[in-house]
Chain A
Amino acid sequence: MKPIARRDFLRGSLAVTGLTIAASVTPFGYSILNASEKGKEAAAGFEPNVWIQITPDDLVTVLLPNSEMGQGVRTSLPMIVADELEADWNRVRVKQAPGASQFKNPLLDNQITVASASVRGFYEPLRVAGASGRIMLVAAAAQTWNVPEGECEASKGVVEHKKSGRKLTYGKLCRKAAQLPLPKDPALKKEAQFRYIGKSMPRLDIPEKVSGKAVFGLDVQVPDMLYASIARPHAYGAKPTSFDQKAAEAVKGVRKVIPTPENIIVCADNPDAAWKGRAALKVQWGPGSHPDLNDESIEKHFIEGLDKPAAVVVKTGDASKALSEAAKKVTATYYVPFVAHATMEPMNCTAHVKDDRCDVWAPTQAQLIAKMVASQVSGLPAEKVHIHTTYLGCGLGRRATPDFVAQAVAASKAAGKPVKVVWSREDDIKYDFYRGATCQRIEAGLDSKGQVAGWSHKVSCSSILKFLRPQAIKDGVDMYSLWGIFDAPGAPTLSRTAYEIPNWHVEQYLSDLPIPCNPWRAVQNGPNAFIMECFVDELAHAAGKDPVEFRMPLLADSKRAQRALQTVAEKAGWGKPMPKGKGRGIAQHTCFGTYTAQVADISVDEKDGKIKVDKIVAAVDCGPVVNPDPLIAQIEGGIILALSTALMEQVRFANGGAKSASFDDYRVIRMSEVPEIEVHVIKSTDKIGGIGELGVPALAPAVANALFNATGARVRRIPLTPKVVMEAIKTKGA
């Protein structure tokens, strides 16, 4: 097999003879420019971000800045371009863009596939870029025929002069079009004129994923490449004290053993030999920084955090006064443990560090972060680092963190050869950057009408930013860990709760545990939605109100959130009594600009505490929909992943490090546990929102609220294992 020729398309991509349309990120958004203007614009500080190339062979090539990890971005972004451009879909090609600042998502100011931001970040720029191209092609045709532009019409890659019936293809017009000025404020299509947007288009990546030809990170082949496995400690902070280098070197296929102060890299001809060599090292490790760390000590740590001094995040009105005057008070403490990403493709990366360049082939969600890290580790300037993005075997946020990139670059630099670092499943679970744990105590007061009068909220949680960007922790507040409760005003993550809470007080205590954390699909919108929505359910119960009816006034400032809740209630037949042994729960959540609500129908066996989720009904309002079928698949997948965390996932710790290390001791959901799922996409012309992560947040609280509905037992933690459920049933009302 030939090494993947990603370099080839890099070479070809910018040397185009034809019309090339670019969009430029500016501090105030974006602007569209013709590539022929690029030189002078670049000097003025513009950087092109999305490229559309139309070439004489009648092909339209879209450079894809984002990582394809199953969400369908390789299809949805080109659909947006093709629609406004009036391209013939059969003549559209997609090329993965290199890691370069011109490919930044304007919404995030980074080339990164996170925060459900691909379509919502590129929807408008790509429409404008496509429309600009179409207008220029029409103008080129009109000039060619010497007729008014208004008499010419573009359709599926051809411009036609209606009166005379003359036609020219985009390929024939592209050179002339490239000489024309860009239209100012190009008119965009009306919804009724959409050719592709809003229609389910088959995903372009699926055929090669079915044939087995799709190249994921682990499939990258570079001539003369070695495989590296890295011996790392069980306990956080532990250093090697002794190891048998000779024994490792004696393993057939092992080529090089590279000890570093923190770990030992074993390079070999194949992964099997690399792992055998690593085992032969028989490394002895020191005790680490927290030798007594285990499940119990971790939970105790977070509970104790509730009574430690904390940063004040929200102070609206006077919560303590409102609570002291409340007709009724409800207090509850919730806990959500660490969960692993456990992407099907374990972490891996291939790097080749040479004297004057560094190539990195990575299943990464964050090309520019990978580039920066590779530059730091290789010692080469960033412009000498070339990031080649492969398909990602699940991302889930894990692949935005560049630890595996740094390892591959370091290993290649040390070995003097191309090196692919391969993590075993055990490595992948043990050395994950987990979804952070959180423990929260909420005290809320209801007035005499049963409405929320005040709310005091203490969050004791892992810090994500501590491991990602410590400088982004402002005044002791880690906003990532608060999403779903609060978000910085104006932030593109739009993850403040949709509830308008009077007399609202929120504090955050950040844990100093060494357990590394990272965004995990929906980030802390997942755990925080679980806590918010279960607690609101408790309040509804305390107020003697129906959970939907109770939420509506709290959502008065968000008509879209109200509509999502109302829709799911109608579709699920909310309000009908459930038979014995069954329960129904509801939850809503808003983040990344999208409004969701879910209803869970479950069966509970009160003898053994086993939950079976029978059906999930979901309502989603993300504004305009680009590709409906993959959108529904994303919501289904998010629901299933979230159900896995709601029912069974928890990373176990012992003796200072992670104990979970396989799919045997880290159980994840399988087919028999998957409920019937019904997704209702609300027709909406409101502002566009994200989708990739939106199936997750409302699921766990809907299930836990259904458990309460079925049994009267309130479980204030996930996972809802049979043991946890039985304990809650036994102690209910206590």
Chain B
Amino acid sequence: MIALHVNGKKYNVDVPGDMPLLWVLRDHLKLTGTKYACGTGECGSCTVHVDGEARRSCVTQVAEVKGKKITTIEGLPDNHPVKQAWIKEQAPQCGYCQPGVIMQVAALISKDKKPDADSIIAAMDDVICRCGAYPRIKRGIKAALEIAKKEGKRA
């Protein structure tokens, strides 16, 4: 049994310790918002937060995150600045990669409140969106920063 702390809830899961966190979230906890797309950490669709840091859950063994605070897309509040911004800017197309993208952006703007355009691109260049929603992801990040600034907290 591995004790997990996900979205504020505690779980005990009976899985091999080397199972990727992704599959534990999706198939044992039924949190299917976190997506499988590459399985090798190359695209970012599976990004979650582990103790506030963006992590690729497809290459994170579940034993590594025992007892740590895990947040998935479902655990990010609906009024979170990034979620608000994504709706405002109509960022997703097919939307499959977006939960991971949103989690990565949420982690980014919680650390850097005023990233410039170049550092946003540098921070997001390990993400793949096959629909090519990149221009709107960029706009979404800008909008999220503005919303977060206005709210003066969170993010």
Contacts and interface: CB of A to CB of B under 8 A. Distances in A.
Report whether chain A binds chain B. Answer: yes
A214 B130 contact: no
Interface residues of A, number: 60
Contacts of A392: 94
Contacts of B128: 344, 663, 668, 670
Interface in B35-89: 35-40, 42-43, 45, 72-74, 78, 83, 86-87
A70 B23 contact: no
B100 to A, nearest CB: 9
Contacts of A668: 128, 130
Contacts of A71: 93
Interface in A710-731: none
A206 B98 CA distance: 10
Interface string A207-226: 10111111110110100000
A424 interface: yes
Interface residues of B, number: 56
Given A270-B23, A342-B130, A344-B35, A672 B121 contact: yes
Contact of B90 (A203, A640, A670, A674): A203
Contacts of B5: none
A357 B119 CA distance: 54
A44 interface: no
Contacts of A218: 32, 35-36
B32 A206 contact: no
A41 interface: no
A70 B131 contact: yes
A272 B57 CA distance: 13
Contact of B132 (A1, A272, A424, A640): A640
Interface in A633-647: 633-634, 636-641, 644
B115 to A, nearest CB: 13
A50 to B, nearest CB: 23
Contact of B30 (A221, A342, A662): A221
B94 A677 contact: no
B40 A663 contact: yes
B132 A638 contact: yes
Contacts of B97: 344, 393
Contact of A664 (B40, B92, B129, B137): B40
Nearest to A426: B39
Contacts of A633: 90, 93, 133, 136
Contacts of A424: 39
Contacts of A269: 27
A43 interface: no
A16 B72 CA distance: 39
A15 interface: no
Contacts of B23: 270-272
B135 interface: yes
A663 B125 CA distance: 13
A340 to B, nearest CB: 10
B27 A270 contact: yes
B28 to A, nearest CB: 8
Nearest to B28: A270
Contacts of B90: 202-203, 206, 629-630, 633
A394 interface: yes
Nearest to A72: B93
B4 interface: no
A205 B98 CA distance: 13
A213 B36 contact: no
Contacts of A69: 94
A221 B30 CA distance: 9
Contact of B37 (A345, A634, A670): A345
Given A272-B20, A636-B135, A637-B93, A671 B124 contact: yes
A393 B35 contact: yes
Interface string A333-366: 0000000001111100000000000000000000
Contacts of A630: 90
Interface in B17-38: 19-20, 23, 26-28, 30-38
B130 A343 contact: yes
Contact of B130 (A207, A209, A213, A394): A394
A321 interface: no
A612 B102 CA distance: 27
A394 B132 contact: no
A669 interface: yes
Interface of B: 16, 19-20, 23, 26-28, 30-40, 42-43, 45, 72-74, 78, 83, 86-87, 90-99, 102, 121-122, 124-138
- A-B CB proximity, top 6 nearest: A212-B33, A640-B132, A393-B96, A70-B93, A209-B95, A70-B94
